[in-house]
Amino acid sequence: MYVELKHINKHFGNFKASDDVTVGIEKGKLIGLLGPSGSGKTTILRMIAGLENPDSGEIIINGKVINNVPASKRGIGFVFQSYALFRYMTVFDNIAFGLKIAKKPANEIKERVHELLELVGLSGLEKRYPSELSGGQRQRVAFARALAPNPQLLLLDEPFAAIDAKVRQELRSWLKGMIQKLGVTSIFVTHDQDEAIEVADEIIITNRGRIEQVGTPYEVYSNPKTAFTASFFGQPSIFKDYSNFRRFDILENAENAIVRPEFVKVTKKNEVQKYKSSAEEGVVEEVDFRGYGIELRVRVNGVLLTARRSFDQPRIDVGEAVDVFIYRMFVTQGDTATLLENKSLRDPVVVI
């Protein structure tokens, strides 16, 4: 492991911002630190960078405990949520700052800054001030500035938060490509699940100062280990009692059932459906147009579920009685989540 956190605790007053955080990160990986607001993501990042000190626990980079190494000596690149560009310096001076502090010769600095400007696609803007740049351009300058001294580790705190949706999409793939090309180990913070899934090689999920789960985007999405992770992704419908859904095993001490839209198939009464016999009765309460298709809210056994249909399927109206088949659901017991499959998928069924 290139970066290791071991049993890190951190309090702000009485508030526990980090609770026994233990996690390792491999060299060269792009890691997404994902969690709801206030879950302690920034705190973890700031402790790695040396801007905060943990109350207890060890931070190890490249095999060395660095708890007592000051931030300035850790050689870590940091992109702030607000970018924190030096507003009284030009783009050139912003990027050159770290190199000047390191007392690099002037011609070397100039070469490196132009190389970086080229890399981030901002050649020709070196004389501008940050206030004369667009949000996306500022983000790129912040990125170039953090990379200038050739850090071994790059930390990015919500790098896309302040950018509008369309540009954000472009910047995501740009950043992912850039980091892959440079091979620098990177950790980026986000509270946007789509962003984490799309960009990260591996996702660390935080909640209330604790680490819930670590894994590839596919793992954490399709195989959540904790109740929190199971309910965090997708657009889950969460309800208490699932005993009315007869085609599922009943677990002891079950707390919540979690059903994601992709677990639900809604069909009209006259549509062909393989598992029609074990489908439940439902009534459509809401039909919403979305860019990707139609989103339905269907009441089944007193529970409101979200489901999706594509445009080429026959139209469904509000108030219509429909068949609802549920493939899977997560059931939580305390802190753990278990995936249950509809028994009809296993059992041979009679197709009518």
Partner 1 sequence: MSAVTQSGLHRDTKGSKLVRYSLIGISLLFVFLMLILPLITVITEAFKQGFAVYSKAVTDDYTIKAILLTLEASFFAVAINTVFGLCAAWSLTKFKFKGKKILATLIDLPVTVSPIIAGLIFLLTFGRQSPIFPLLQDWDIKIVFAVPGIVLATIFVTFPFISRELIPVLESQGTDEEEAAALMGAKGFTIFRRITFPHIKWAFLYGVVLCAARAMGEFGAVSVISGHLRGKTNTLPLHVEILFNEFQYVPAFAVASILVMLAILILVARSVIEHKGRKK
Ligand X SMILES: Nc1ncnc2c1ncn2[C@@H]1O[C@H](COP(=O)(O)OP(=O)(O)OP(=O)(O)O)[C@@H](O)[C@H]1O
Which residues of this chain interact with Mg ion, rule CB under 5 A? 42
Give the rounded distance of the alpha carbon of 337 from its chain centre: 19
Select from partner 1, Mg ion, ligand X, none the partner in contact with residue 73, using the beta carbon and a kind-dependent cut-off of 5 to 8 Å: partner 1
Concatenated DSSP letters for 241-279?
--TT-TTSPPPTT--EEEE-GGGEEEEETTS--TTGGGP
**What phi, psi does 140 have (nearest 5°)?**
-70, -35
Report if residue 76 touches partner 1, rule: CB under 8 A.
Answer: yes
Report if residue 107 touches partner 1, rule: CB under 8 A.
Answer: no
**Best CA proximity match to 268, nearest among 327, 328, 326, 317:** 317
Residues 134-193 that bind partner 1 (CB under 8 A): 145, 149
Report if residue 87 touches partner 1, rule: CB under 8 A.
Answer: yes
H helices of the chain, in order, are 41-49, 91-101, 106-119, 135-147, 165-182, 193-199, 217-222, 227-232, 343-346
The length of the chain is: 352
Distance CA 26, CA 32 (A): 13
Residues 1-40 that bind ligand X (CB under 6 A): 12, 15, 17, 35, 37-40
The residue from 37, 72, 253, 310 that contacts partner 1 (CB under 8 A) is: 72
**Best CA proximity match to 150, nearest among 182, 117, 111:** 182
Select from Mg ion, partner 1, ligand X, none the partner in contact with residue 2, using the beta carbon and a kind-dependent cut-off of 5 to 8 Å: none
Report if residue 224 touches ligand X, rule: CB under 6 A.
Answer: no
Q: Is the CB of 18 or the CB of 42 nearer to Mg ion?
A: 42
Report if residue 84 touches partner 1, rule: CB under 8 A.
Answer: yes
For tokens 């001294």, the residue is 149
Q: What is the dihedral of CA 127, 129, 130, 135, to 10 degrees?
A: -60
- DSSP 8-class letter at 160: T
Q: Is the CB of 43 or the CB of 185 nearer to ligand X?
A: 43
CB of 39 to ligand X, least distance (A): 4
Could you tell me how many residues of this chain bind partner 1 (CB under 8 A)? 24
Question: 352: exposed, middle or buried (C-beta count within 10 Å: 0-12, 13-18, 19+)?
Answer: exposed
Report if residue 80 touches partner 1, rule: CB under 8 A.
Answer: yes
Select from partner 1, Mg ion, ligand X, none the partner in contact with residue 78, using the beta carbon and a kind-dependent cut-off of 5 to 8 Å: partner 1
Select from partner 1, Mg ion, ligand X, none the partner in contact with residue 80, using the beta carbon and a kind-dependent cut-off of 5 to 8 Å: partner 1
Kindly state the tokens that stand for 237.
């419908």
The residue from 2, 6, 86, 276 that contacts partner 1 (CB under 8 A) is: 86
Residues 186-205 that bind ligand X (CB under 6 A): 191
- Number of residue whose CB is nearest Mg ion: 42
* Stretch binding partner 1 (CB under 8 A), from 76-84, 162-170, 187-195, 197-205: 76-84
Kindly state the tokens that stand for 46.
């700031």
Distance CA 18, CA 12 (A): 9
Q: Is the CB of 36 or the CB of 183 nearer to ligand X?
A: 36
Q: Is the CB of 38 or the CB of 149 nearer to Mg ion?
A: 38
Distance CA 211, CA 23 (A): 8
Task: Return residues touching ligand X (CB under 6 A).
Answer: 12, 15, 17, 35, 37-43, 191
